[in-house]
Copies of this chain bind each other. A is one copy, B any other.
């Protein structure tokens, strides 16, 4: 048996999220179907975490165990030819048998893309959140600073979450404006359900002047989802990179 670590991109547009469900098309279902084609047998996969419907990944990671002795580049080719075109394997590595794609995560990077334009853009509609309001990036940056470090993020987590511990550490937040495109980068040790999208929704409210940067510590303090702004839509979000030791 060899343990295989796989880094994949997917276009979330036509998926009901990463994780297997009864009825809908999911990324995990397509991956396990491709592995079944290759192995003529069921192969269980373990991902770094789920992503929601319409959320994209540039660098999702999963692992599986295989009895087949295929070199890493052979795996890339075999998987890409068995997968549908909205999932692509970027990299395959052979790892120790105790590596785990979920439990060994050290940090993750998410990105969120916003289009600051009132005009309908048919090409960006599935890949960026259209937000046609004037925003001030420096005010958003001042607000974002309050998220850095270790906090209880209950106010920035979907009330549907079943995680007990809502304390997470954010290492880095960057906000870049490039013409009418706005890019958010978040790096942290872990993110709760909808956490990035609720932070983005709240930061956009700050950028538009509907909330002040100093509101962020007060919202965190409340530990109540109802105090933060609304969840930004899934199609602007990208699971960009998952980091492990080594």
Contacts and interface: CB of A to CB of B under 8 A. Distances in A.
The complex is assembled from copies of this chain, and their number is: 2
B10 A122 contact: yes
Contacts of A135: none
B85 A121 contact: no
A123 B90 contact: no
A85 B122 CA distance: 7
A163 interface: no
Interface in A85-123: 85-90, 119-123
Majority-rule SS of A interface residues: loop
Contacts of A80: 120
Interface string A162-182: 000000000000000000000
A79 to B, nearest CB: 11
A56 B88 CA distance: 23
Contact of A119 (B10, B56, B90, B125): B90
A125 B85 contact: yes
A119 B59 CA distance: 13
Contacts of A56: 123
A87 B11 contact: no
Contacts of A10: 122
Nearest to A11: B122
Contacts of A122: 9-11, 85-88
A122 B56 CA distance: 10
Contacts of A85: 122, 125
A191 interface: no
Contact of A123 (B11, B89, B121, B125): B11
A127 interface: yes
Interface centre among A11, A121, A123, by most B CB within 10 Å?
A123
Interface in A194-246: none
A240 to B, nearest CB: 12
Contacts of A89: 120
Interface of A: 9-11, 56, 80, 85-90, 119-123, 125, 127
Closest 4 CB pairs of A and B: A88-B120, A11-B122, A9-B122, A88-B122
Given A85-B122, A90-B119, 13 more contacts: A9-B120, A9-B122, A10-B122, A11-B122, A11-B123, A85-B125, A86-B122, A86-B125, A87-B122, A88-B120, A88-B122, A90-B120, A123-B127
